[in-house]
Chain A
Amino acid sequence: MKNQQTLRHADFPLSPRAGVMPGKGAAFLKSFRKLCRNPLSASGVVIVAVLLILAMAAPWIATHDPLVQDLSRVLSAPSAAHWFGTDEYGRDIFSRIVYGSRVTLYIIFLVTIIVGPIGLLIGTVSGYFGGWVDSVFMRITDIFISFPSLVLALAFVAALGPGLEHAVIAIALTSWPPVARLARAETMTFRKSDYVVAAQLQGASAARILFHYIAIMCLPSLIVRLTMNMATVILTAAALGFLGLGAQPPLPEWGAMISTGRSYMLESWWLVAFPGAAIMLVSLAFNLLGDGLRDLLDPRTE
């Protein structure tokens, strides 16, 4: 045990992490500043921040109750009283969009915490052990990848029945394979590297190597991938909502808002224009952020 201690604190870094990060906080701040130097990624950061604030402070930001109907003000155009107009029940669209940000974040958050660990686990195990474990896992991901994700999600929701939770499960089921593929590819590049071999020579267990030496190295590209994935998740969730298979009324989900607004769109464009713009903006923000993070964390792909 003592031997291991001295080895780990030797001059040469056994893990490439050592020495690279002088102080984690300072390094993070430096990276963050670098990220914000690119105007595109910076705007991504800003939009995501606005989304978070909207969701947290929705009751204070919204001008109206998102669910209260006012039949005297049905389908009124954007005005000072209703910035984005009202829908077919006279509900304030601005307020519904503000509250809708909670639904969006809820979906993104749930899908990501399901997909990230599952993809990482399957990918690293598959890549590290190789052999039949790898073959089995990769054939399974092949099957999932051979469907376009929206179609597969549609099939799952059809099977499970419409609803927000079911949509989350369906999206998660369809979006883990690319993450696993990525983690596997990364693992295979690290598996044979000297620092892993050094850890093996020290007698570290496979689990220890996987978690402490390999999974941690996969994280940067995984984070990039998950961030970009969030953009796709938003779009898939909105598409499911649009087809009436996702969040159900009266929940102010943006895709579902577009779906109901569709019947009135030729006369009352604001019913579809604003929720759609919100979807686009948030999805774009995550894409910009992911792009910027990739340049920062994963310069190999450039």
Chain B
Amino acid sequence: MTRSRYLGLLRKLGVIAITLFGLLTMTFIIGRLMPIDPVLAVVGPDADSSTYEQVFREMGLDRPVWVQYQYYLQAMLSGDFGRAILTGSPVVDDILRVLPATIELATVAILVGVGLGIPLGVYAATHRGRLGDHLTRLITLFGYSTPVFWVGMVGLIVFYAWLNWAGAAGRIGFAYDGMFESYTGFYLIDTLLSGNLEAFFSALRHIALPALILGLNSVSFLGRMTRSFMLEQLSQEYIKTARVKGLSERSVIWKHAFKNIRVQLLTIVALAYGGLLEGAVLIETVFAWPGFGQYLTDSLLMGDMNAVMASVLFIGLVFVFLNLLSDVLYTLFDPRTRS
């Protein structure tokens, strides 16, 4: 590795450190702004004033703001996010518990996004200005414009209530709950490992609709990005070279143009995966999916400050991580940065 690459990496890490610091500061500020009395949230409304006073002092709320800020930073950096009022357990444990459900949902959704979005984008780019391109534009704009929670409800009405194709809310039918070993926390994998095929299909029926709907947004995003990346490549000289060689249009598109956008796409897919977290907050609420998004909104409605701030911070961390990952992928896989 060259010296400049080292410096670049260091710089990148510096930026991430500053961003993380900013995230912590922002969550601290938001926490202080909250109209909910954090002491009351802990002791409950019936506590007498001496208990109240005691907790008030234990939480350091009698100290100046910058001291509180210092405590906050110390606690956060040592991984102590406090306890969730709703469950009574440490927030970190809560998040780790609900995370597999969300990862499973988001992973299936990103597969939908990649599987439909990228071919759609390539198709639109190679049919530029023709009917197919316009239709793709319309479809992707629809994907951008539909409120995901609403599509979720319409999906439930049509595919569950009317057609009875999809499973109801939740991750799996009630009958199968606890009927298989929990190896990974991912039901699709756990049911298979347990050899319980019926449970697997129940899980599949439950995940299909929310994942498909969650994935629609990434279909649009990836479709549009793929289209514009491809258009950029297709206008390059080397494409003409490939045609001069006598290559078929298919080879020109996939072996030459697409090969040039793979790395770009990889980084975009990483970002899209992060974007799914946003949709998950809404779609999990609609489908009663016991994941991270539902945990966040439940805590929000309960005024559970610790849980909300930790969740928000966690999402910020995931985003920073995915950004870093996409940078790393870029440098690893692009021959132009590899030398």
B315 at the interface (CB under 8 A from A): yes
Measured in the bound complex, the distance between the Cα atoms of B308 and A276 in whole Å is: 27
Cross-chain contact B282 with A283 (CB below 8 angstroms)? no
Chain B, residues 210-250, CB within 8 Å of chain A (1/0): the string is 00000000000000000010010000000000000000000
A7 to chain B, nearest CB (A): 39
Chain B binder among A58-66, A152-160, A191-199, A203-211:
A152-160
A242 / chain B contacts, CB cutoff of 8 Å: 147, 149, 282, 285
A279 / chain B contacts, CB cutoff of 8 Å: 147, 150
- B161, closest chain A residue (CB): A266
B65 to chain A, nearest CB (A): 15
A238 / chain B contacts, CB cutoff of 8 Å: 147, 150
B106 at the interface (CB under 8 A from A): no
Which residue in A148, A239, A245 is a CB contact (below 8 Å) of B300? A245
B154 at the interface (CB under 8 A from A): yes
Which residue in B137, B303, B320 is a CB contact (below 8 Å) of A291? B137
A117 at the interface (CB under 8 A from B): no
Cross-chain contact A284 with B312 (CB below 8 angstroms)? no
The secondary-structure label for the interface of chain B is helix
Which residue in A40, A151, A243, A272 is a CB contact (below 8 Å) of B150? A272
Measured in the bound complex, the distance between the Cα atoms of B146 and A62 in whole Å is: 25
Measured in the bound complex, the distance between the Cα atoms of B145 and A287 in whole Å is: 7
Measured in the bound complex, the distance between the Cα atoms of B296 and A76 in whole Å is: 35
- A39, closest chain B residue (CB): B134
Measured in the bound complex, the distance between the Cα atoms of B15 and A140 in whole Å is: 11
- B300, closest chain A residue (CB): A158
Cross-chain contact A272 with B281 (CB below 8 angstroms)? no
A139 at the interface (CB under 8 A from B): yes
Which residue in B142, B145, B308, B320 is a CB contact (below 8 Å) of A158? B308
User: How many residues on A have C-beta within 8 angstroms of the other chain's C-beta atoms?
Assistant: 46
A150 / chain B contacts, CB cutoff of 8 Å: 278, 281-282
Which residue in A146, A159, A262, A284 is a CB contact (below 8 Å) of B142? A284
Cross-chain contact B33 with A160 (CB below 8 angstroms)? yes
A8 to chain B, nearest CB (A): 38
B22 at the interface (CB under 8 A from A): yes
B282 to chain A, nearest CB (A): 6
A11 at the interface (CB under 8 A from B): no
Chain B, residues 3-38, CB within 8 Å of chain A (1/0): the string is 000000000000100110011001100110111000
Measured in the bound complex, the distance between the Cα atoms of B282 and A154 in whole Å is: 11
Measured in the bound complex, the distance between the Cα atoms of B228 and A287 in whole Å is: 17
- A43, closest chain B residue (CB): B138
28 intermolecular pairs with C-beta atoms under 8 Å apart: A139-B15, A142-B15, A143-B26, A146-B320, A147-B312, A148-B277, A151-B277, A151-B312, A152-B312, A154-B281, A154-B296, A155-B308, A155-B312, A158-B300, A159-B35, A235-B147, A239-B149, A243-B297, A243-B300, A258-B153, A262-B153, A265-B153, A265-B156, A276-B146, A279-B150, A280-B145, A283-B144, A284-B142
The 4 closest A-B pairs by CB, nearest first: A276-B150, A143-B22, A148-B278, A284-B145
Apart from A143-B22, A147-B23, A150-B278, 8 more pairs, CB < 8 Å: A139-B18, A140-B22, A148-B319, A154-B312, A158-B308, A161-B35, A258-B147, A280-B146
